[in-house]
Amino acid sequence: MLALVQRVAQAQVKVEGETVGDIRQGLLVLVCAERGDAEAQADKLLGKLLKLRIFADEAGKMNRSVQDVGGGLLIVSQFTLAADTSGGNRPSFTQAAAPEEGRRLYDYLVHQAQAMHPVVATGQFAADMQVHLVNDGPVTIPMRVRP
């Protein structure tokens, strides 16, 4: 699984002008299932997200997790994270999971996150979404969890 994690002061997702998910301080997680991914990769990714120490402690060092600061998770599906641009100017998305499998793993990740963390918001799978965020830092971290 691929993820692009952004530490945010706030973030929201809109679909057709309506807000479908929003958080204050926390992590905006753009996520993509790749071919061959399974629940194990989603579980490992979630474990890393909840423990990733990228929030400031009293000394101003990145030493606290989203759980430590009581922040939210905004999880948004984004198959374009699997883009391969090595072959030309038009990206290939052949490494992304098939849409049905991508949806299944996205839904699984969200369900697990909701069971383990008190504030979880989402985008809408396969929708044309507008993502608004205030990146705090900025801090943006790419993550890949392999099968």
Domains of the chain: 2-134 (3.50.80.10)
84: β partners: 92
Q: Which two tokens stand for residue 31?
A: 């996520």
Q: Whole-prediction pTM value?
A: 0.96
Which one of the listed residues 12, 25, 79, 122 is annotated catalytic?
A: 79
Full pLDDT tens readout for the chain, 147 residues: 999 999 999 999 999 999 999 999 999 999 999 999 999 999 999 999 999 999 999 999 999 999 999 999 999 999 999 999 999 999 999 999 999 999 999 999 999 999 999 999 999 999 999 999 999 999 999 999 987
Look up 78 and say whether it is catalytic.
yes
Look up 79 and say whether it is catalytic.
yes
**Burial group, residue 87, by CB count within 10 angstroms (0-12, 13-18, 19+):** exposed
C-beta separation of 124 from 20 below 8 A: yes
Q: What are residue 45's phi and psi, to 5 degrees?
A: -60, -45
Which one of the listed residues 80, 93, 94, 130 is annotated catalytic?
A: 80
